[in-house]
Structure formats: C-alpha cells, structure tokens
Amino acid sequence: MVQEQFALEDNDFRKLSKLVMDTAGIVLSERKRAFIHGRLGRRLRALGLADFSQYCRLLETDDGDDELRNFINAVTTNHTSFFREAHHFDFLSRVIIPEFLSGNTTRLRIWSAGCSTGEEPYSIAMTLAAGPTALMERDIKILATDLDTNVIARGAEGAYELERAEGIPDAYRKRFTRLRDSKVVMNDELCRLITFVHLNLLGPWPMSGPFDIIFCRNVVIYFDKPTQRRLFDRYADLLRPDGWLIAGHSENLLGVCERFDLVGRTIYRRRR
C-alpha cells in the first residue's frame, strides 16, 4: 500500500497544498490528504524517492518545471463524460443556436474552459453539427483548454474506450464517430471545429475574444471564493454582452459576480 510506503508529514502536506493553490488555484483541504498521498505516491515510486520531503525538495529546485507539470497533472480531478448535465446541450440546441441563427453575425466562438479529456467540447461540437444545415455554414470555432497536459493530449487524440462513449446518443455515435482498434474515434467534422490548448485559468489568456459562450463546468468548485471572483470577472470581460456562461451543477455565481443574470439551470447571461 502506498500509504504505508511513504510518510506524508504535516509540514510537507502544507508545502504541497500551497504549491497547488499558488499554481492552479486548487484548494487542497485536509480531507484531500489521502487523495494526494495516493496520487503522488505513484510519482515518488516512479522517481525512486524515499519520502515526501525529498519530493518537496525536488519541486523547489525543479528549474525546468518538468516535475511541477507532473505534480499538477497528478493532483487535478478530471472526472467528465459525454453529454454530462445534458440539459446544457438541450439549451444550446433549443435556445442558443436558434437565437444565433436569427441574428446577423456569422461568427460563433465557444470556449470549453477546463475541458478535461475532451468529452465536453466534443458534446458541444456534436450538438452544433446536428443542428440546422445553415449553422455549419457559419464561422464556428470551439477552444478547449485545460491545465493538465495529459488530458489535453487525450482530447486532441479524440479516441475513447467503448464504455466512455456510451453517453453519446446512438444517432450521434453513428453519424460522428467510427470504430478504430476498439476505440470510438471522433470524426473530422468535429475535430475541425475544436482546438485543444494547454492553459492555466490563473495565468495570462492569449486569446482576445469576444466569446459567445463559455462552458466552465465543474472547475471552480476546486477554487476558493477570491479565485472564483477574479475568474468570473475575467470571463465577463471576454464574453460579448448577452454572451452565455454555463456553469456546473454545484456552482453558483450568487455573491461571487454580479455581472451575470441567471437565466436557466446553472446558465448565466452576461449583462449588457
């Protein structure tokens, strides 16, 4: 057992928690101690280290930030699935797409922020590609970003185990995917719409926007309130007036940011 193999002293846990907070904004409470222990135990073994103190020293002296990247990849929670919180995709096709088509702009920009292994942006892409023909004649781009370099690489690959693809409605699976080496592979029509980029939400954002829709679901639950406040304020800056912000089921802007109106179940609209 990892727990027995490497002791994690309070002092080292505090150092690691601070590093995660400073780098990624993720709060590691005492309750996450066993989780950290398990995830990082694998790194210690891979590196041949004797204990967490050695690991902390390695991170402190890691000039190239190579281990910092592995460390951050190890502590992120990447749980996701196709068409997770399906009502958001229903809202996209029933409300957002018709409104966009009735307007006079041809450009649609969507950001999946904290996209994990890509199921979220591919679900968005399938919803769009299954929409009216006129929609796909427009200039549509989906930016998919995450802090974890491993999940971004998997998203860009666009190939999923059969069980993971079970959440894709049958009609979409037939139309937008094919089987290769027992994996469900996203087709070119979807891949053309999405660009996967490694990006820390706490750092600078190279894109200038404006975005029409930002999906940021099940990401800010790991952040403290001041970090959430700064992030939602930056989202409001980057969204067009009346742009949409889609949050996760347990996320709430109440008392965090007053630049949005709640218009649906965890669906917000930027005030003008």
Binding segment for ligand SAM among 75-83, 100-108, 176-184, 239-247 (CB under 6 A)?
75-83
What is the smallest separation between the CB atom of 21 and ligand SAM, expressed in angstroms?
10
Binding segment for ligand SAM among 28-36, 56-64, 74-82, 185-193 (CB under 6 A)?
74-82
Site string for ligand SAM, 216-235 (x = CB under 6 A): -xxx--x-------------
Q: Which entry of 146, 148, 154, 270 is annotated as an active-site residue?
A: 146
Residue 146 is among the residues annotated as catalytic for this protein: yes
Q: Which entry of 39, 230, 259, 269 is annotated as an active-site residue?
A: 39
Residue 39 is among the residues annotated as catalytic for this protein: yes
Q: What is the 3-state secondary structure (H, E, C) of the chain?
A: CHHHHCCCCHHHHHHHHHHHHHHHCECCCHHHHHHHHHHHHHHHHHHCCCCHHHHHHHHHCCCCCHHHHHHHHHHCCCCCCCCCCCHHHHHHHHHHHHHHHHCCCCEEEEEEECCCCCHHHHHHHHHHHCCCHHHHCCEEEEEEEECCHHHHHHHHHCEEECCHHHHCCHHHHHHHEEEECCEEEECHHHHHHEEEEECCCCCCCCCCCCEEEEEECCCHHHECHHHHHHHHHHHHHHEEEEEEEEECCCCCCCCCCCCEEEEECCEEEECC
Binder among 125, 201, 214, 239 for ligand SAM (CB under 6 A): 201
Residue closer to ligand SAM by CB (options 6, 215) is 215
Site string for ligand SAM, 151-180 (x = CB under 6 A): x-----------------------------
Binder among 6, 144, 148, 270 for ligand SAM (CB under 6 A): 148
| Residue 150 found at the interface with ligand SAM (CB under 6 A) | no
The catalytic residue positions are: 39, 146
What does the binding site for ligand SAM look like in residue numbers (CB under 6 A)?
24-26, 76-80, 84, 114-116, 120, 146-148, 151, 200-202, 217-219, 222, 248
